[in-house]
Homo-oligomer: A and B are copies of this chain.
Amino acid sequence: MTDFAATRAAFDLPEGVIYLDGNSLGVLPRGAAARVERTIRAEWGERLIRAWNDAGWMTQPARVGDRIARLIGAPAGSVVVGDTLSIKVYQALAAALALRPGRRIVLSDSGNFPTDLYIAQGLLDTLGQGHELRVVAPEEVAGAITGDVAATLLTEVDYRTGRLHDMAALTRVAHEAGALAIWDLAHSAGAIPVDVTRAGADFAVGCTYKYLNGGPGAPAFIHVAPRHAAVARPALAGWMGHEAPFAFDAAYRPGAGIERMRVGTPPVIALAALEAALEVWDMVDMRDVRAASLRLSERFIAEVEAQCPALELASPRDAAQRGSQVSFRHPHAYPVMAALIDRGVIGDVRAPDILRFGFTPLYLSEQEVVRAAGVLATIMRDEAWRDPRFQQRQAVT
């Protein structure tokens, strides 16, 4: 059993705040600041260039990748960390398309995070080979996987509503149609149990600054199924993905397996924070996290619906169909959230009318969730959001 008092003690939480935005930016793990300081002062400062070898900087992307692999059901050696999620989406999709040269359709859905769609469209435009990005409604994906689809590009948990795709079922449909399945786990890794192996995913990507608490702008990850690892073509053929980076050969030869998905020099300082953040997960069983997450989110929905008739649930009502967030709609979502943040309850907003609340059992208690709902109820009842102070839209990521 996961000891959630112990996990909570592993984080530095600010005073006077109930944080329901760990689905956007996770909180600070106690070990991260000290680890980064050590990396900066003792490794960079003292060892300088020698630290590439003697502090293990060069092997860090795969070492950190292995920690993530465990959380998403991937075998060791099949995940590597670096760059941003956008870049990793580009790599995964480019590799998938090269494996399906005769097909011209990339299938995604309108609930996907925009950067996935932008990156896909940018890649297809760059290819200039008549590929089409076909975007359907989330519930129409299964029926749209026709024999001309090269790859599906789907985010398992919808960033706006928390709606959960059935990864295993959709992957099966994709494979039956001869397509490859790419899964974006941005809102899944550390949020819900994930098993890319059992689901048969071909590629998976994700970010580490949400539920994994890697820090603002922490590097992303990519998983390539072992059956593709030796043949996947890295479109972003950077030197760190070369079979022998320090041979400085004129010609590129892709590295063994997942190593080829590395691109440039690894972001050592960011990786130090992420590595410390991932150590917290040694204490965690994802099934316990799922159970606690559902308990927290069900309680939040019940409290809000009982007290705030003006808010409309935007997430699936069936807990099994949700990730670890709950969203409500309100025509004045922005000022409502501004008023809520002003009173120490932090969630965020997605255009045009979505209030988002993330549930992170590692550091969030049921009592706090009940208190947060109470604060929200007070704001709605008093219409506190009409205060001119809260009328300015704030962009939050």
Are B25 and A397 touching (Cβ within 8 A)?
A: no
Give A263 Cβ to nearest chain B Cβ, in Å: 5
Asked if A25 and B45 sit within 8 Å, CB to CB, the answer is: no
Q: Is the CB of A119 within 8 A of B238?
A: yes
Inter-chain contact B236/A48, CB cutoff 8 Å: no
Beta-carbon nearest neighbor of A43 in chain B: B216
A127 to chain B, nearest CB (A): 7
Q: Once the chains bind, are A236 and B270 in contact (CB under 8 Å)?
A: no
Write out the residue numbers on chain B whose beta carbons fall within 8 Å of the beta carbon of A27: 45, 48
| A33 lies within 8 A of chain B by Cβ | yes
Task: Report whether B247 and A351 are in contact in the complex, using a CB–CB cutoff of 8 Å.
Answer: yes
A236 touches B87 (CB 8 A): yes
A121 to B238, CA, bound (A): 10
A228-283: which have CB < 8 Å to B?
A: 233-240, 242, 245-252, 263-271, 273
Contact A21/B40 with A118-B237, A122-B234 known, Cβ cut-off 8 Å: no
The reply to whether B40 and A83 form a contact with Cβ atoms under 8 Å apart is: no
A367 CB within 8 Å of chain B? no
- CA–CA, A12 and B233, complex, Å: 42
* A213 nearest in chain B by CB position: B44
Are the C-beta atoms of B248 and A114 separated by less than 8 Å? Answer: yes
Those 9 A-B pairs whose CB atoms lie nearest each other, nearest first = A84-B264, A122-B237, A86-B238, A115-B239, A216-B268, A86-B264, A28-B45, A118-B252, A246-B395
Inter-chain CA distance A311–B17, complex, in Å, is 64
| Residue A110 is within 8 A (CB to CB) of chain B in the complex | yes
Partner of A238, one of B115, B209, B247, B346: B115
Shortest CB-to-CB span from A348 to chain B, Å, is 6
**With A40-B215, A48-B14 as contacts: A220 and B264 at CB distance below 8 Å:** yes
Q: How far is the CA of A268 from the CA of B208 in the complex (A)?
A: 13
Contact of B394 with A250 in the complex, beta carbons under 8 Å: no
B395/A52 in contact, CB under 8 A: yes
Q: Mark A36-60, 1 if CB is under 8 A from B, else 0.
A: 1100110111111111110001100
CA distance A266 to B242 in the complex (A): 25
CB-defined contacts of A250 to chain B, threshold 8 Å: 110, 114, 117, 135
A341 within 8 Å of B by Cβ?
Answer: yes
Q: Which residue of B lies closest to A129 (CB)?
A: B128
A-B contact pairs, 26 of them (CB 8 A): A12-B41, A14-B46, A14-B47, A25-B48, A25-B49, A27-B48, A28-B45, A33-B41, A36-B269, A44-B215, A53-B395, A58-B395, A83-B264, A85-B265, A86-B236, A86-B239, A90-B236, A113-B239, A115-B264, A119-B238, A122-B236, A127-B127, A246-B351, A267-B267, A269-B269, A269-B273
Asked if A325 lies at the interface with its beta carbon under 8 angstroms from chain B, I say no
* Known A27-B45, A49-B346, A217-B268; further 19 A-B contacts with Cβ < 8 A: A17-B48, A19-B48, A25-B48, A32-B40, A43-B216, A44-B215, A49-B348, A57-B216, A58-B395, A83-B84, A85-B264, A85-B265, A86-B238, A86-B263, A114-B252, A115-B238, A119-B238, A207-B265, A217-B266
Known: A122-B252, A216-B269. A263 touches B87 (CB 8 A): yes
A248 near B350: Cβ-Cβ < 8 Å? yes
Assess whether A264 is in contact with B87, with CB atoms less than 8 Å apart. Answer: yes
A219 within 8 A of B: yes
Q: Is A157 an interface residue (CB 8 A)?
A: no
A396 at interface, CB cutoff 8 A: yes
Note all chain B residues with C-beta closer than 8 A to A239. Answer: 86, 113-115, 118
Rounded to whole angstroms, the CA-CA distance of A245 and B87 in the bound complex is: 16
- CA gap between A395 and B24 in the complex, in Å: 38
